[in-house]
Structure 1
Amino acid sequence: MAATQSILVVDDDAILRRLLLRQIEQLGFRAVGAGTLTEALAVLDTDPPDLVLLDQKLPDATSTDHLPDLAERCPVIVLTAHGSVDQAVGAVKAGAADYLTKPISPRMLELAIARVFEAARLRNEVGLLRREVKGQETPEIVGHTAEVCKLRERARMLAEAEMPVLIHGESGAGKRTVARFIHENGPRAEASFAELQCARADGSHLADELFGAAAPGLLEAARGGTLFLSDIGRMPQVVQRRLAAALETGAFTRRGSAREIGLQVRVIAASSQGLPELAAEGGLVPELFYILTAFTLEVPPLRARRADIPELANHFLSRRRFALDVEKTISRKTLELLQKWDWPGNLRELRNVVERGVILSGRSATIQPDHVELGQQAGLTEQRDKGISVADEPTLEQLRDRYLDFLLQRHDNNRRVVAGILGISERSLYRILSQR
């Protein structure tokens, strides 16, 4: 483990710097040196270390003035020739992980490095435990139909690559799960998985969220990991061009800064639009389209993989905690019913139906057909056509309104459930309904 970790020593005293570098290498770490803050920033951009030993006074800056920004990127141990309690407290408040006074003995150096890396390990373990508590453990691409086996095999293959990937499929089909599967099965699995929802982000601020301004953007925050861009087709084209340039050159800048920052993140994008729609005017700009479509994955809709529905339903059930301590199963008749439904909301809708079945079944150990409330709609095309008829050739707006009415009636005006099926927020649904 230690052999793969690198430590940057920033000190203008060349003799002390060489001594520290030698001691660090003897401890089994990779060591890099810099004599100024400018040199250190260049190393942080091109070869990000796991830890920085930073002298308090440098020729081109007072290091502690830059501690908050540096500490966001990696842990920092401050070095000083004249230590005091006030200086130590000030450094820690500014973001330092530790504070050492020169001269530094090899033993003190070893202990300080060990403390910082142990704290980082514990933070990572806490993060993993929190994800498990929230049911966000390593994602699975569940199913054994030919379509899903092909998807899983290709996703596993792309996980080993570093190239950008575009995932496309209907809303709720599981694009984010596939993105996390790629991340968790690749070389960046131990690093962060960040997400930017392009459709929900404020267009005027999306560039700052991505590239950064006064504070780091997601391209920096996810350094070493994966950045998932959902609804990439909704990203403003001016931002698309900046992203394409960053992916092509491997560098980008924050707003208001000329300093280039090395791109140290893998980008996975997703869209509910098909490739022809993305290639059309108003979709992706050509330079980004050709970068992203070099490697693509298509996630099939749930109605195209009905044989997987029993396995998926039981998978969602197995991840559900039972408040009443009643272990539940799904009856055969219920599974047959689920296989007949068309699932316009795909996996998201199926998960919601299973959740509802768990709640409505109460203390019963078996989820029956009446608990999932699909009832007469599943498999009865004639009844569905009465809800959304196309015989009179309605306009697109009329079809949308009828579909909304159909979903609201079916789910007893539960806007949270309907919004989940549509893949939008409750606030967006409320706005759509108020404009009718």
Structure 2
Amino acid sequence: MSDHSQQEFDIAVVGAGLVGSTAALALANAVPNLNIVLLDAAKACMALADHSTATSVDDFDPRVVALTRDSQTLLQEVGAWPLLEAKRLCPYTDMQVWDAEGTARIAFDSSDIQEHNLGHIVENKLLVSALSERLTGAENITLLNECRVSEIQWLDGQQELNLQHDSDKPVTHVRATLVLACDGALSPLRQMMQIATREWDYGHDAIVTTVETDKAHQGIARQRFISTGPLAYLPLSRGGEGDSADEHFCSIVWSCIPERAEELMALDDREFSKELAAALEFELGDVKAVAKRFRIPLRQRHAREYIKPGFALAGDAAHTIHPLAGQGVNLGLKDVAAFVEQVQYAVTRDVPVSHYSILRRYQRQRMADNLTMMATMEGFKRLFGSKNISLRWLRNEGMRSLDKVGVLKNKIVRQAMGL
């Protein structure tokens, strides 16, 4: 990582989370002569080399992502994937989905499409740590931590960012030809640029935690649709030697109506474990241990535009969706891949990276894909959240029929995996 004090850059990436860090690394990898700055309000991420093996539910990050093959490829390109493999990640070979209001079940099996797995479950903290390690060795990336963008303005063909530091340092200024905002769902930069959003509450809260179950998860991701909301058990690996399928740790994402969420959060660990095991119909036996629970209100949000002169949004700053299919981070990484592709396109044609035609190409490509995924997730939520008898019959028959049509089912799996 460069340590020079230059305050003019080609591209400024704001937000050093999963999407922002990947964007900075991917840009540096794709166009080595770019001068990039990565800005973040938090302190620099510490390496987690000593936490490669987990022994209890408390060792896991409650926030996990289900990475698709597309996301894996991008992380391999920036050099983060081997670091994840050296820590811990869990491939899942199967996915089972069923409806509590019927008898239908769909089983997706990676062997049916001649793949080793359907994807990988990775803890957020390990992914951020791996990306942080890669940033340390990036020559054309300057990392500025503990600073917040207090103002942004377009001056003489560049964006000027005023940075407010957490220390007693005075306000500093950074100028960049192009700014990529990856600063989260409540993106301050999006608000500064006066980009409107369309948003609404899902009427659900997500309870997230980590559990240890009586039976091994066998590398299977399980999702059960309950009348109050979907419940997902995502397999985790403790790391180290051994078969990750013969493990008993799972990440839990239980989406439910606020009243039910309040009831569940009020239970002690013993009673909550009983409710959790019963909600999955004891597929993995009893829940033996549960980590601290977190309750997160769910809200869909989509920016009405992704670009302004010399400015673009990516990741949660542009869109947030229901965690139903675990696609939020994957969509953000697809934003990154598209953004990098357009920057490369501009550089090879000697066009300024901030040229509006370049940014429009990025917006066209990503907005259509993100809206399609958001509409699909909203449709699933409405379909499985309905108590209408006709809809319940329809979704059960649909699931049963889809499970029997191997060609169509496999096509859906391949598309979801990015193959």
Taking structure 1 as the reference length, what is the TM-score of the superposition?
0.26
Whose helix fraction is larger, Structure 1's or Structure 2's? Answer: 1
Whose strand fraction is larger, Structure 1's or Structure 2's? Answer: 2
Higher relative contact order (CA 8 A, sep 6+): 2
Taking structure 2 as the reference length, what is the TM-score of the superposition?
0.26
Max radius of gyration: which structure? Answer: 1
